[in-house]
Each structure stands twice: as structure tokens, then as C-alpha cells.
Amino acid sequence: MTAAQDAAVVAPALDPEELVDRIEAGHRLTAAEAVAVLDAPDAETFRLVAAASRLRERHFGRTVKVNYLVSLKTGLCPEDCTYCSQRLGTEAQILKYTWLKPDEAVRQAGLGIAGGASRVCMVASGTGPTDRDVDRVTEMIGRLKDEHPQVEVCACLGKLKDGQAERLKAAGVDAYNHNLNTAESHYESICTSHTYADRVDTVERATAAGLSSCSGLIAGMGETHAQLAEAVLALRELDSDSIPVNFLMPFDGTPLAGHVQLTPLECLRILAVVRLACPDKELRIAGGREMHLRSLQAVGLQVANSIFLGDYLTSEGQDAEADLRMIADAGFTVLGAAAAPADDDGAPDGGCCGGGGCGEGGVEDASTRGGTSPSPSPAPRRRGAGTAEPANA
């Protein structure tokens, strides 16, 4: 039976604590159970989060892994992904620039590392790298590892061809990101310029080369709960080491502009179902958390053990200092970080606000942070890589 067929079965009655007991004893979440979690009423969501948090703490304790994105090349992509502000023909008012110089790429990465990031994600727009692009990236990675030998580096360059994953591995890349994004049964609704199978192929190439695989999804693109369950279980079958969960950022100028189907409690249930399906995998709250989780971001950390610090590829995130304060206020510690000195109000010293450059995070209309807006729009990134403005790190 396929995941989609399994999800069509009537969902069982949901007892979160009993379900976690069985998962701890070796049970693998079924598609029907995944749909039951996603269908759970709002009033049961915090009970569900509390149960799933047992798995998070068993495997990751009270630590949060901090990741930092560096957009090496932004915009100008020939793919037609409906959710993406960098897509072919986009009218989104985003930054557009070609490859950063190696020195600038390393400098930008260093800012995130100084802010507490233990992994830097080096990302470039486009279908996939040429061999010359791989040369360019391996030079950057070599310099970065020379300056920061302790940092993990994840590359995200698109579809890989023969030998490219092996070259990245030899250069010191630790992980490779290529998201499945959605269920196979939903894929043609969001992209026609490449296939779901193409994405699976790249993840498998990275794994075969000895790179840690990083692959996740984007929720809120018109998929059903059955399709969300299908996508989550497909990621489990890929045995992805880290799973970033993005929530659609409906940029003006893209086909999904103004599309909003998620609530903060729905987002918590999505995070919970990933933890229940993949109890020992790094679960990262990624793009869109400020817009969709809003005041419940810290609650998301009860099941997720990883976040991005600061800004994303084309949109601004929550201020980096606020991210670190949120982690501490929720009783977590940053993975690999020494205890930070606190200022008078208990916040760690540092952050980008000390040097200027902080802006409002995530959503142009601040009213969407406290309630539901019919058409929130992400705030395009105007600082950091590709600009003369200080990074949010």
C-alpha cells in the first residue's frame, strides 16, 4: 500500500502519550496515524506537542542547533517553482546578484558563526551547478574551513551531476541540502521544470558520496493532510539526517502570492508529526516561522531542535538577537556554545543590533504577527550578503 493509499484509511483515535510510548518501543508512525495527528483539534495541540517533546528530549536534550544561511547567488533562476521568489519570470522585488566573491562569502559566513551558528548553509539559486561553479564553491569552503575548522558546512546548489557530490565532500563539505518540498502526488502542482524524481536522485547522490543528507518540505502550498503525511514518510524513507520544515512565504509577484492556509497551531501539528515519524532526526524550523508560528515560535522548539538564525535567502527573519533570546527564554541552550554573558535585562550580549542594521522581521504588515491576516507578505531581504548593509547575525 502506498503512503497516499494508507492515508486514505480512516484515521485511528489519537492518544498522543500512548502513541509516543509505542514509538519509543520501536513502532514506526503510519500514514493513517500521521493524518490523525494533523487532523487533531486545536484544543489537543499542546497535549500533542508535550508528548512529542519526549522524543525530542530523549535524542537531543535541551539544546538547539543554530544554522546560518549565506546566499551565494540570488535570483535569476530558470526553474518555475510556484512558491519561489527567485523563479523564472518572478515579479517579486527581491535582491538579484551573481556569485559572491570568495572573501565576501567567507566574511558573511563568519558573521553567523560569531552569532552562535555551528552550521553554515552555503546556497546558490539555479537548476544546479556547473563544474566551474563547483570549483568556485570548493574554494570558498576551503577558505571557510581554514578560518573556522570547527564549523559544519552544508551546500545547497541544486541538482547534482556525476562526480560533483564527491568533489564537494573532498573539499570539506559536511552536508548537502536538497528539499523534496512536497509529496510526489502533489509535485506537478508546484513545479513542471523538473520532477520529484530529480530531487530524490540528488539526495541519493549526496548520501552515496558520504555527505550528510538534508532534505525537508514546504507546508502550506495547497496540499492535503494526506499529502503532507506522504511527504513526511517519504523523507523518513530517504533517511535524511536533518529535516528543515518551511512554511510557505507567499511573496507578491509569485503564483502563490497571498495564499495562506496555515495557522500557528497547524504549524505545531506539522512539526509534531515530523518528530513522531523521525524521532532521532534533526528537525529544523526554517523559513516562514515568524509569519506562521508567530508568538508560538518558542513552543515549536519543544519538538524541533534546530533553527536558522536571522535572515533567509530572500526574506528578512526575526532579529538575530531576538532569536537567541527566544532560545534562552524557553530554557534551551545553543548547541556547542559556551554560556554567554548577559546584559542587564538578561539577554546575551552582541547580536546585530549592537552594530545597527536590524529591521522588522518576517512580515511587512506587523499586524499579522498577532492575528490572522488574509494576505501577509514576506519582507524582502535588504541586508547582508549581496548588499552593503550589516547582516542580521
Per residue in 18-59, pLDDT (tens digit) is 999 999 999 999 999 999 999 999 999 999 999 999 999 999
CA angle, 162 then 166 then 168, to 5°: 110
pLDDT at 93: 81
Contacts of 233 (CB under 8 A, 6+ apart): 3, 29, 31, 34, 277
Portion of the chain with pLDDT greater than 90, in percent: 72
- CATH superfamily, domain 59-219+230-260+283-337+361-369, is Aldolase class I (3.20.20.70)
Could you tell me how far CA 341 lies from the centroid of its own chain?
A: 28
Region 282-308 average pLDDT: 97
314/115 Cα distance (integer angstroms): 20
Q: Which band of pLDDT confidence, cut at 50, 70 and 90, is reported for residue 311?
A: confident
Counting Cβ atoms within 10 Å, is residue 190 exposed (0-12), middle (13-18) or buried (19+)?
Answer: buried
Q: What do you get for the CA distance between the two ends of the chain, in Å?
A: 46
pLDDT at 238: 96
314-329 b/e (C-beta count within 10 Å ≥ 16 → b): bbbbbbbbbbbbbbbe
Report which of residues 8 and 177 the model is more confident about.
Answer: 177
pLDDT at 47: 98
pLDDT at 242: 98
Mark out the alpha helices in the chain (DSSP H runs): 3-7, 16-24, 31-39, 45-60, 102-114, 131-147, 164-170, 187-190, 196-208, 225-238, 264-277, 289-292, 297-300, 320-329
Q: Which band of pLDDT confidence, cut at 50, 70 and 90, is reported for residue 263?
A: very high
Closest CA relative to residue 225, chosen from 49, 4, 44, 17: 4
- Cβ pair 175, 202 in contact under 8 A: no
pLDDT at 100: 95
Question: What pLDDT, in 10s, does the model give residues 334-350?
Answer: 998 754 434 444 433 33
Q: Which band of pLDDT confidence, cut at 50, 70 and 90, is reported for residue 2?
A: low
Q: What is the pTM of this model?
A: 0.86
Q: Which band of pLDDT confidence, cut at 50, 70 and 90, is reported for residue 12?
A: low
Q: Is 284 annotated as a binding residue?
A: yes
Q: Is 358 annotated as a binding residue?
A: no
Q: Is 191 annotated as a binding residue?
A: no
Q: For the chain, which residues make up each domain, given as ranges?
A: 59-219+230-260+283-337+361-369
Say if residue 250's pLDDT is above 70. yes
Q: Residue 168 has which C-alpha cell?
A: 564537494
Q: What is the dihedral of CA 292, 269, 64, 52, to 10 degrees?
A: 170
pLDDT at 367: 34
Q: Is 352 annotated as a binding residue?
A: no
pLDDT at 13: 78
pLDDT at 11: 52
Strand partners, 71: 123
Say if residue 392's pLDDT is above 80. yes
Q: What is the sign of the dihedral through the CA atoms of 332, 337, 342 and 347?
A: negative
pLDDT at 338: 53
Region 228-256 average pLDDT: 95
Report which of residues 367 and 230 the model is more confident about.
Answer: 230
303/275 Cα distance (integer angstroms): 6
pLDDT at 326: 97
Q: Residue 260 has which C-alpha cell?
A: 495562506
Region 372-392 average pLDDT: 76
Minimum mean pLDDT range among 71-75, 197-201, 250-254, 357-361: 357-361
pLDDT at 315: 81
Say if residue 312's pLDDT is above 70. yes
Angle between helices 16-24 and 264-277 (to 10 degrees): 30
Report the phi/psi class of residue 312: left, alpha or beta, with left for phi > 0 and alpha for psi in -120 to 50: beta
Q: Which band of pLDDT confidence, cut at 50, 70 and 90, is reported for residue 378?
A: confident
Name residue, grid cell 534533526.
282
Q: Residue 314 has which C-alpha cell?
A: 530572500
Could you tell me how far CA 206 lies from the centroid of its own chain?
A: 18
Region 235-251 average pLDDT: 95
Closest CA relative to residue 392, chosen from 310, 316, 290: 310
Question: What pLDDT, in 10s, does the model give residues 87-105?
Answer: 877 787 878 889 999 999 9
- Cβ pair 232, 277 in contact under 8 A: yes
pLDDT at 376: 61
Q: Which band of pLDDT confidence, cut at 50, 70 and 90, is reported for residue 362?
A: very low
Q: Is 278 annotated as a binding residue?
A: no
237-272 b/e (C-beta count within 10 Å ≥ 16 → b): ebebbbbbbbbbbbbbebbbeebbebbbbbbbbbbb
Angle between helices 45-60 and 264-277 (to 10 degrees): 40
Averaged pLDDT score across all residues of the chain: 88
Q: Is 84 annotated as a binding residue?
A: yes
